Chains A and B, each alone.
Chain A
Amino acid sequence: MRAGGRWWAVALAVAVVAWAVAVPRLGLGQLALWEDVAIQVLFATSVNLLLGYANIPSFGQAAFYGAGAYTVALLAQSAWPPLAALAAAVAVAAALAFVTGLITSRVTGLAFSMVTLAIGQVLYTFVLQSNAAGGEGGISGVAPPARGLFDLTQPVHLWWFILLCVAVAMLALWWVVSSPFGRALTAIREDPKRAAFLGIAVRRYRVMAFTIAGGAAGLAGGLYAYSTTIVAPAVLNWTQSASPIMMALVGGMHTFLGPALGAVLITWLLYVLGQATRAYLLYVGVVLLAFVLLVPRGIVSIPDLLRRLAGGRRATGAAPEVTP
């Protein structure tokens, strides 16, 4: 971590906790919004493990998000306790991602993106036709059993439960990207051939990253099921895969926190604009376009950008900063 990075981390943590305490006082609508924000933060970060750290452009992450959501929804019907249901969601999504990773590990680039997209759509179609998963209508009334230390039928308890799960998962992902494995991933991203000639079995690492990201997406999906109480096939649709990619782009891909910031901004924007106008997607599109054209390295690069604008001529051609 850079000098002063620790203070930034502390300041960020304090801000998050303060906000977490404040949100329940703003009413149920805001609570639902910020639960969604937290969940999208985790989803976007998991996608960025692939996109930003390993340069694996998967367009099928909704499959694992949706698999997590459906796992929780189905298990909630047999009154599974939330932690067990979420653990199952992670396991199912990770296993599905592992198999997908194995199948796709021989293709790269655009072909890879297309294959992941196709696999996601296959799952979407399957669930759409499936009676057990509720078909087109999905599964509604997803609720944790009303017992235990945390009674998650109470909105405030659920809010804290979701935040805690997201925080733990984010820490775990941070752990992964700053581990030796994380370094190897970035090395593979930079030059797969060089990595192979250092004895790194590139394909295996790609499958591992895919599995970990899939598991994290599954957790996000499972939390989504508890938060909204409804899981419909739309969670598996490809648009659901595109949104975390968009968040990572807006936030800044080659950094850990960038996609999280992107997730906060985009989710909040979707909500606010959605309340104001029916054409909200148009405006979100304009924001996305503005970022791609004007701030291609995302929100995290804005301080640097402002400094350079203020400093005038001395554009150093600085590289995208790589965190860790």
Chain B
Amino acid sequence: MSLALRLEGVTKRYGAHVVLDDVTLDVEPGTLHAIIGPNGAGKSTLFGVVSGEHTVARGRVLLGGRDVTRVPAATRVGMGVARAFQVARVFPDLTVADNVLVAVLASHRLTQVFWRRRVPERTEREARRALERMQLTALADRPARSLSQGDRKRLEIGMALALDARLLLLDEPTAGMSPEETAATTRLIREVWRETGVTVLLTEHDMQVVFDLAQRLTVLHRGRVLCTDVPERVRERPDVAEVYLGVSAQHA
């Protein structure tokens, strides 16, 4: 299941500073779409706008054709928008298994149940499957706090997937990972995308990952969309090389 995303003329300001400037963007349902751009280009803000964390000054956000510009974050989750943060956010004192279980319970709207002690067997099974898929079964009983950054990110992606995501937002999914972890996570994202057909929108600094995964690329520069195209053609654009690759060489 997949969800189309459309941004129409979205502008976001922090005081006088314009972070997103008239951004128009179409993400086709079921595609793997990457947003790239140097630091400060507005990538994380764009994710905040899509997930409902940030309000916008101007423009519209559409999910599956429905205008959700004023719809709160929790409701967008209910529509299938799942998000993993740049610095993985998990519940540190809960075990890995409980982290996933909370996500599964939330996806079935069972977290309000206080009159029943047992978690339904179906939910438990689903949580176990999610752990297996993310290869976290061996770590199930560890508190999430004790995980490495890479494992934490995997856990967070697993939690996002457990929500029955239709649009998956991954903010630098391989940041802070070792080369092996990066390769494994890249593979995992592709597998999950193939299996579920979910729309994936991701940002990434690692160009290898971007060109391995993305079907379409959007280049963001100082809050503006420079271009959106297939990776091969984006790579050949001289303006992209100038604004992006030039800067990326500096902080590599």
Contact = CB atoms under 8 A, between A and B. Distances in A.
Interface in A151-202: 175-176, 178-184, 186-187, 190-191, 193-202
Given A180-B119, A182-B114, A183-B101, A201 B93 contact: no
A195 B85 CA distance: 12
Nearest to B162: A198
Contacts of A212: 114
Given A187-B102, A200-B74, A322-B94, A181 B114 contact: yes
Contacts of B83: 197
B101 A175 contact: no
Nearest to A209: B114
Interface string B91-115: 1111000100111011101111111
A306 B57 CA distance: 58
A191 B113 CA distance: 20
Interface string B40-70: 0000000000010100000000000000000
Determine the interface band of chain A, counting residues with CB < 8 A from chain B: 20 to 34
A198 B103 contact: yes
Contacts of B115: 175, 179
B117 interface: yes
Given A190-B91, A198-B159, A180 B103 contact: no
Q: Give the interface centre of B78, B92, B93, B101 by most chain A CB atoms within 10 Å.
A: B93
Contacts of A320: 93
Contacts of A176: 114
Contacts of A199: 74, 77-78, 106-107, 109, 163
Contact of B91 (A187, A201, A208, A319): A187
B93 A322 contact: yes
A319 B94 CA distance: 11
A179 B98 contact: no
A37 B105 CA distance: 37
B129 interface: no
B111 A197 contact: no
B194 interface: no
Contact of A179 (B89, B113, B145): B113
A151 to B, nearest CB: 33
B245 to A, nearest CB: 32
A193 B77 CA distance: 13
A190 B92 contact: yes
A175 B116 CA distance: 7
B143 interface: yes
A260 B90 CA distance: 30
B89 A186 contact: no
A248 B11 CA distance: 48
Interface in A25-62: none
Contacts of B77: 197-199
A184 B111 contact: yes
B73 interface: yes
Nearest to A199: B77
B93 A180 contact: no
A196 B93 contact: no
**Which 9 A-B pairs rank lowest in CB-CB distance, beginning with the nearest?**
A199-B77, A181-B114, A184-B111, A190-B91, A194-B89, A198-B106, A180-B113, A179-B114, A187-B102
20 contacts: A176-B114, A178-B117, A179-B116, A180-B114, A181-B114, A186-B93, A186-B94, A190-B92, A190-B93, A190-B94, A194-B85, A197-B73, A197-B82, A197-B83, A198-B102, A199-B77, A199-B107, A199-B163, A205-B111, A322-B93
Given A180-B114, A199-B78, A199-B107, 19 more contacts: A175-B115, A179-B116, A180-B111, A180-B112, A180-B116, A180-B119, A181-B111, A181-B112, A181-B113, A181-B114, A183-B101, A184-B105, A190-B91, A191-B89, A191-B91, A198-B107, A198-B163, A199-B109, A320-B93
Interface of A: 175-176, 178-184, 186-187, 190-191, 193-202, 204-205, 208, 212, 254, 319-320, 322
